[in-house]
Amino acid sequence: MLKFVGRRTLYMVPTLLAISVVIFVVINLPPGDYVTSLVAELRGQGQVVSMERERGLRELYGLNRPLWEQYVAWVSDLLRGDLGRSFDLQQPVAEVIRERLPITVALAGVTLLFTWIVAFPIGVYAAVKQYSIGDYLATTFGFLGLAIPNFLLALLLMTVSVQYFGYVPEGLCSPEYCDASWNLGKVLDALKHWWLPVIVIGTAGTAGLIRILRANLLDELRKPYVVAARARGVPKRRLVARYPLRVAMNPFVSTVGWVLPLLLAGDVIVAQILSLPTLGRVFLTSLQQQDMYLAGSILMIYSLLTVIGTMISDLLLAWLDPRVRLGYQ
Amino acid sequence: MSEGTPTTTEHSASQARLVWWNFRKHKLAVTGAVVTVAFFLIAIFAEFLAPFSPGRVNEEYTYAPPQIPRIVDTSGESWDWGLHVYGYSAEQDPETLRVTYTTDETQKIPLQFFAKGEEYKLFGLIPWDRHLIGPANPDDPMYLLGSDGTGRDQLSRLMHATRISMTVGLVGVALAFLLGVTLGGISGYFGGRVDTFIQRFIEFVMSIPTLPLWLGLTAAIPVTVGPVKRYFLISVILAIIAWTTLAREVRGRFLALRNEDYVTSAWLDGSSRRRVMFRHMLPSTTSHLIAALTLSIPGVILAETALSWLGLGLQAPVVSWGVLLIDAQSVRVISHAPWLLLPGLAVVIAVLALNFVGDGLRDAADPYRS
Amino acid sequence: MTESDALLEVNGLKTHFFTPDGVVRAVDGVDLTVPRARTVCIVGESGCGKSITSRSILRLIDPPGRIVDGEIVWRGGQQSGRTPGDGAAVDLVSLDPDGERIRRIRGNEISMIFQEPMASLSPMYTVGAQMIETIRLHRSMSKDEAREHATAMLARVGIPQPERRIDAYSFQLSGGMSQRVMIAMALACQPDLLIADEPTTALDVTTQARILDLIRELQADTHMSVLFITHDLGVVAELADDVVVMYLGTVVETGSVDDVFHDPKHPYTRALLRSIPTMGRGTRERLPSIRGMVPHPSQRPPGCPYHPRCDEAIAGRCDQEDPPVVALGPRRTARCVLYDPSGGPPGPSPASAGASGTAEAGMEDTP
Ligand SMILES: Nc1ncnc2c1ncn2[C@@H]1O[C@H](COP(=O)(O)OP(=O)(O)O)[C@@H](O)[C@H]1O
Ligand code: SF4
Ligand SMILES: [Mg+2]
């Protein structure tokens, strides 16, 4: 097991390196560079920037060096934690990320939990009671959940919230509670704000998970070992819980790997509508303003989270499934 | 338990019939197919089906609510037959100065099939000026699905958006298909080290968070790029992610097929490798591929919608469902003019329909699995 | 045979599947008896309802399948160590398939082993964990006692290094080893009846022979009964005391192994026997196979289900009326109009048909 963990961790390094190359390419795709936009920004503010000064700036930022040297410089900056400066927020990117990463991860975590808690019983029920009304409802939800764009869902829920609860849950807390220490009021306030983003971001993942869990469990329930266990007198409830569910759990564990990017993507969109203090909004703004270095850094953070998520799910999978652990699959 | 069922792979012609027979049994899938075909018909004949051009503004009728077409007018002494809608009367809020329109039953706007209206070129070639339906007097307001903030007809815009959104899906998936079939086919056909390499590559592409990467790539498109080029660039970007699933599907099929008897026997007969690949392996994977293809279109449509809505995908004056939904950004607008969410409904219906078709196809292609 | 000799008695069992494409009469009137301490083989082509019959006995049929008629009388469970009150005859069809009573019969009084031994073990738990679970379901033992018992059982079925193998996973074992594990698990609670559904079909020939030897040896040692299902007449000859021949969900002939092999009555049995490869015949020569194909049970022909393929079918009779089950002696039946004592339209006389059958089969059975 230890060896497995070691191998899996080492495997992250080349993946992340390869991703960084892709991201660096993306950063350099648009015509013009950081200095072009910087100069445009300065000129926009009415400053006079000479060609000389522009060239000087380029030298200062190393933008006149060959691409691969720039790449190395960028990566080593990243490794040192120097992620550049955000135009929009007028502060270092590292600081922006440090401020926003915890809440982003917290939102993703809560949503993941929500996804599990909802999808698990529904998926199991739908499979065990195949073709029941509950199964049809679950299947319908599974289809709808994947078909609704999440910004649309956000808009709909916001409209509903305004109509029936009389408020738009913008942000993740009301100003009076944001810096307060935890008490009942703050918990209630959090509930008031978190339900919407959690539902919106989590719906697609929940729907996908229900479908996967149902299909897997149905597959497993048909396997000979289930009949064999029943023929040995294992009671039905225990039979489902112990035998096929253990295998059908695999996609659940794998979700950490594939739901995480989904959640982060959801965050990009929902953060915009609900003005959440998460990374998503910064990312979007940076893209809209073609602030590619900032966007690239955030993209790198997203990738890092995803790769870590995948690793965690692989490790959990190995821990759960002896076939993976012992290298038989 | 399926010992008694036949498992021989038939010739591709009869297999197609078998798949079709099985497909017809899935009611949901058939419904999905009908809806999908309808969407594509709208896409093809958008100019004719739409009463107006998508860009026609009319400042006099902003946020006009949908009208209900009526056949008989019972307001007068005698019943008056003839297709018509009611006109609008405007009311201005003295404080906010906002104008609201309500349907006015005293005004009657007669409608016509094959009404004369704006000129257009059908299929971009044939000049014509007839529209399936329109007001008898081209200047009368007709907003069957309401209008937007500049008085553009929602129905016409929706139809033109259908063209863009559905074809972005198709073009994107077609590109993804090329990539996927090539790499997946190579991977599955040769196996061994080539396979391992391509699999690693696919795993790597999949490990990059999809939407953020899409966003990053679209943001990298220079702002100065024209609408047509932008359309194709977006399709390419969407294809970049969609191909991985297709490639995996193709590879899996090929791996399974490699072990089938008739491929081996074709080999023993001395057929060339390429011949084996194209004569025997491809036809029998076709139905699975079509299923996989169909199932990957919804993802592309959803992605395009999200990208455009965020302002990073397609941009006005091109209309797509996502572009249309930009008008529905705030709760205030939505509660004032809920019909602006209709493009969202179109997205949901299209995605559901394609999913049903794809699922039905997959089940039909695998009749012995369930 | 006296009443108490019969450990299991199946009478008129019908198990049908109600599928969207119509009713599949997988088992359609099966009668059979398993006497104590004997081995009964059910033989028949693939798809004739052998597995469904055996699963019906343990009430393992899931929707859309259902037992629609018949009774399954069980007279087992009299040994010590079982709950008092057990042991009286019970009709398994009357039990709730998810209930406590049938659950205590499964794996305890009646055990079952299957065709795919590796797939019959969960890949998520060790062999030992699954054995211990089964033992503790039916016996009040501590985990350690159960583990000890499981190890002893593994040793008993000839698994080398049982102390180590008990912690192996199914995917680490060969097919033969897995089947031995399944047998050990099946016998752990000393059942009265072992149902073996083609347990050697998926194994190679050598392993197959070893497993058959093992089953025979264990049967002799424990005096349990065995209901062995196979489509291989060679296996039947080696193992059976009694034979039950099935065709399309019905029993067409029963009898002791000697009677059935040397004096087959039913035309189907005779055809089956003709198609066994024997040493005398060259292996290259094509075996005479039964003409036509087994129809799917949803398209079962009217009258005698075998009539479209039967060389001796009597037009106007076999294709219209159900043939009667004719008792030809103690524990010997055939379901065919040729032996119907009540006569009917003239056909080859039972005696002559029987005689010719004897000669034929006798020749074929001689190596
Ligand atoms: N779940 C099911 N649904 C419909 N038909 C079934 C089902 N299970 C088995 N059958 C049918 O019942 C018949 C008997 O099956 P089975 O008992 O498995 O045959 P075998 O004699 O080979 O063991 C087969 O023809 C099969 O098609
Ligand atoms: S009943 Fe008739 S068809 Fe059936 S086996 Fe006997 S002779 Fe043949
Ligand atoms: Mg069977």
Q: Please check whether residue C114 lies inside any domain of the structure.
A: no
Q: How confident is the model at residue C347 (pLDDT cuts 50, 70, 90)?
A: very low
Q: What is the mean pLDDT of residues C101-106?
A: 88
Q: What is the mean pLDDT of residues C9-33?
A: 89
CA of B366 to the centre of ligand 1 (A): 19
How much is the pLDDT for A180? Answer: 66
In single-letter form, the type of residue at position B264 comes to T
Does residue C340 sit in the same domain as residue C237? yes
Q: Do C169 and A326 touch (CB under 8 A)?
A: yes
Identify the closest residue of chain B to C21 by CA–CA distance.
B25
Q: In 3-state terms, what secondary structure has residue B220?
A: helix
Does residue C195 sit in the same domain as residue C328? yes
Take residue B124 and report the two structure tokens written for it: 């971009």
Take residue A44 and report the two structure tokens written for it: 């926009």
Among C142, C159, C190, the domain-final residue is: C190
Take residue A107 and report the two structure tokens written for it: 């939102």
Q: In 3-state terms, what secondary structure has residue C44?
A: coil
Among C190, C216, C240, the domain-final residue is: C190
CA of A92 to the centre of ligand 2 (A): 92
Closest by alpha carbon to C230, among C31, C30, C41? Answer: C41
Instruction: Provide the b/e sequence for B234-266 (b: ≥16 CB within 10 Å).
Output: bbebbbbbbbbbbbbbbbbbbeebbeeeebeeb
Does residue A36 sit in the same domain as residue A116? no
Cα distances (Å, whole numbers) of residue B196 to A4, A9, B190, B251, B278: 20, 20, 10, 11, 23
Contact indicator for C241, C256 with CB cutoff of 8 Å = yes
Q: Using most ligand atoms within 8 A of CB, pick from C318, C325, C339 the residue to mutate for ligand 2.
A: C318
Q: Please check whether residue A4 lies inside any domain of the structure.
A: no
Judged against a pLDDT cut of 90, whether residue C195 lies above it is answered with yes
Alpha helix positions (H), C200-349: 205-222, 233-239, 257-262, 267-274
Q: Please check whether residue A90 lies inside any domain of the structure.
A: no
Does residue A105 sit in the same domain as residue A244? yes
Alpha helix positions (H), A61-132: 67-79, 93-128
In angstroms, the CA C142 to CA C132 distance is 9
End-to-end, the C-alpha distance of chain B in Å comes to: 12
Judged against a pLDDT cut of 50, whether residue B8 lies above it is answered with no
| Beta-carbon pairs below 8 A across chains A and C | 77
Take residue B283 and report the two structure tokens written for it: 């036809």
In single-letter form, the type of residue at position B185 comes to G
How much is the pLDDT for C344? Answer: 53
Q: How confident is the model at residue A1 (pLDDT cuts 50, 70, 90)?
A: low
pLDDT single digits (tens) A225-242? 888 999 998 888 888 877
pLDDT single digits (tens) A65-112? 778 888 888 888 888 877 777 666 677 878 888 888 888 888 888 888
Report the predicted TM-score, pTM, of the whole model to 2 decimal places: 0.78
Q: What is the mean pLDDT of residues B252-274?
A: 60
Among the ranges given (B131-145, C78-92, C212-226, C237-251), the one the predictor scored with the smallest mean pLDDT? C78-92
Q: What is the mean pLDDT of residues C159-166?
A: 90
Among the ranges given (A133-147, A309-323, B56-70, B188-202), the one the predictor scored with the smallest mean pLDDT? B56-70
pLDDT single digits (tens) C285-332? 455 566 777 777 777 888 888 888 888 888 888 888 888 888 888 888
In angstroms, the CA A226 to CA C124 distance is 12
Does residue A186 sit in the same domain as residue A102? yes
CA of C216 to the centre of ligand 1 (A): 28
How much is the pLDDT for C194? Answer: 92
Q: How confident is the model at residue C147 (pLDDT cuts 50, 70, 90)?
A: very high
Instruction: Provide the b/e sequence for B321-349 (b: ≥16 CB within 10 Å).
Output: bbbbbbbbeebebbeebebbbbbbebbbb
Q: Please check whether residue A17 lies inside any domain of the structure.
A: no
Q: What is the mean pLDDT of residues B342-351?
A: 91
Does residue A103 sit in the same domain as residue A237? yes
pLDDT single digits (tens) B232-241? 888 888 887 7
Among C163, C190, C217, the domain-final residue is: C190
Q: How confident is the model at residue B16 (pLDDT cuts 50, 70, 90)?
A: low
Q: Please check whether residue A183 lies inside any domain of the structure.
A: yes
Alpha helix positions (H), A31-92: 34-44, 51-60, 67-79
User: Measured between beta carbons, which residues in chain A are less than 8 angstroms from residue B306?
Assistant: 149-151, 269
Contact indicator for B245, B298 with CB cutoff of 8 Å = no
pLDDT single digits (tens) A115-127? 888 988 898 888 8
Judged against a pLDDT cut of 50, whether residue C3 lies above it is answered with no
How much is the pLDDT for C34? Answer: 92
Contact indicator for C203, C175 with CB cutoff of 8 Å = yes
Q: Quote the crossing angle between the two packed helices A93-128 and A244-274, to the nearest 10°.
A: 140
Strand partners, C86: C84
Q: How confident is the model at residue C85 (pLDDT cuts 50, 70, 90)?
A: very low
Q: Do A269 and B311 touch (CB under 8 A)?
A: no
In angstroms, the CA C322 to CA C250 distance is 11
Q: How confident is the model at residue A43 (pLDDT cuts 50, 70, 90)?
A: confident
When divided into structural domains, chain C yields a total of: 2
In angstroms, the CA C296 to CA C47 distance is 8
Whether B326 has its CB under 8 Å from any CB of chain A: the answer is: no
How much is the pLDDT for B1? Answer: 38
Among the ranges given (B342-351, C25-34, C352-361), the one the predictor scored with the smallest mean pLDDT? C352-361
Say what the ipTM of the complex is: 0.82
Q: In 3-state terms, what secondary structure has residue A6?
A: helix
Strands (E), chain B: 70-73, 80-92, 99-122, 126-135
Which residues keep their CB under 5 angstroms from ion ligand 3? C 51
Parent domain of A224: 96-328
Q: Please check whether residue A170 lies inside any domain of the structure.
A: yes
In single-letter form, the type of residue at position A14 comes to P
Please give the mean pLDDT across all residues of chain C: 82
Parent domain of C130: 119-190
Residue nearest to atom 13 of ligand 1 (CA): C26
How much is the pLDDT for C282? Answer: 47
User: Measured between beta carbons, which residues in chain B are less than 8 angstroms from residue C46?
Assistant: 3-4
Q: Do C296 and B1 touch (CB under 8 A)?
A: no
Take residue A78 and report the two structure tokens written for it: 């990243």
Q: In 3-state terms, what secondary structure has residue C306?
A: coil
Residues 6+ apart with CB under 8 A from B307: B214, B215, B218, B234, B313, B314, B322
Give C16 or B210, the one with higher predicted confidence.
C16
The percent of residues above 90 in pLDDT, for chain C, comes to 25
> Looking at CA atoms only, how far is residue A221 from chain C in angstroms?
11
Does residue C254 sit in the same domain as residue C290? yes
Contact indicator for C246, C30 with CB cutoff of 8 Å = yes
Q: What is the mean pLDDT of residues B187-195?
A: 78
Please give the mean pLDDT across all residues of chain A: 80
When divided into structural domains, chain A yields a total of: 2
Q: Please check whether residue A89 lies inside any domain of the structure.
A: no
Q: In 3-state terms, what secondary structure has residue C112?
A: strand
Distance of CA C220 to the CA centre of its chain: 18
pLDDT single digits (tens) B206-247? 777 777 888 888 888 877 788 888 888 888 888 877 788 778
Give C273 or C4, the one with higher predicted confidence.
C273
Does residue C239 sit in the same domain as residue C269? yes
Closest ligand 2 atom to residue C307 Cα is 3
Ligand 2 pocket, Cβ-based, cut-off 6 angstroms: C 266-267, 304, 306-307, 310, 312-314, 318, 323, 336-338
Tally of CB atoms within 10 A around C221: 10
Give C364 or B125, the one with higher predicted confidence.
B125
Q: What is the CATH number of the domain that holds A164?
A: 1.10.3720.10
How much is the pLDDT for C144? Answer: 92
How much is the pLDDT for B176? Answer: 86
Does residue C195 sit in the same domain as residue C88? yes
> Looking at CA atoms only, how far is residue C202 from chain A in angstroms?
14
Q: Do C107 and A231 touch (CB under 8 A)?
A: yes
Q: Do C60 and A231 touch (CB under 8 A)?
A: yes
Q: Do B3 and C47 touch (CB under 8 A)?
A: yes
Highest mean pLDDT among A8-17, A177-186, B83-92, C156-165: C156-165
How much is the pLDDT for B276? Answer: 58
Judged against a pLDDT cut of 80, whether residue A179 lies above it is answered with no
